[in-house]
């Protein structure tokens, strides 16, 4: 039975409950399925961060967003967080990085594109698993954000 509509926040668990969707073993999901949702989760986090820094013209918001949402930027994030990942997270990243995507990298090296896909798979996995606090902590580290800033 679907849970009652309340102010639960947008999480995979709330979506599952509201729509009465069954539990799934996330380890069985393909890396591209995880990256499919992870791409949106990652971009939503970045867009939220950019907008919450203050209102600006849309063009300025877009320019700042692009600093984070590109294969080279995402590859740098992976480099900053890789040694902080659990074995399980490292495996999801590896699976995402190693998968054949069926599309080619635009304005990025193939290596950066694969790292970005791995990061997106990790974002999707942590979101679907309900570990958004962990995801935000990793991205904060990856963005180079300090406790003071």
What is the separation of C-alpha 74 from the centre of its chain, rounded to a whole number of angstroms?
Answer: 10
Give burial (CB, 10 Å; 0-12/13-18/19+) of 7: exposed
Q: Respond yes or no: is residue 39 known to be catalytic.
A: yes
Active-site entry in 25, 39, 112, 147: 39
Residues 6+ apart with CB under 8 A from 57: none
* SS3 per-residue string spanning 75-122: HHHHHHHHHHCCHHHHHHHHHHHHCCCCCCCCCCCHHHHHHHHHHHHH
Catalytic machinery residues: 39
């Amino acid at each position: 039975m679907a849970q009652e509509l309340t102010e639960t926040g947008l999480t995979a668990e709330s979506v599952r409950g509201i729509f009465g969707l069954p539990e799934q073993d996330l380890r069985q999901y393909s890396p591209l399925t995880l990256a499919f949702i992870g791409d949106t989760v990652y971009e939503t986090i970045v867009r939220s961060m950019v907008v919450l820094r203050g209102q600006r013209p849309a063009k300025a918001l877009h320019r700042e967003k692009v600093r984070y949402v590109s294969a080279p930027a995402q590859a740098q994030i992976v480099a900053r967080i890789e040694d902080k990942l659990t074995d399980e997270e490292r495996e999801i990243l590896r699976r995402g990085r190693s998968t054949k995507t069926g599309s080619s990298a635009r304005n990025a090296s193939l290596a950066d594109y694969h790292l970005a896909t791995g990061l997106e798979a990790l974002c999707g996995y942590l979101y679907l698993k309900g570990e958004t606090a962990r995801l935000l902590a990793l991205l904060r580290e990856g963005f180079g954000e300090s406790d003071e800033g």
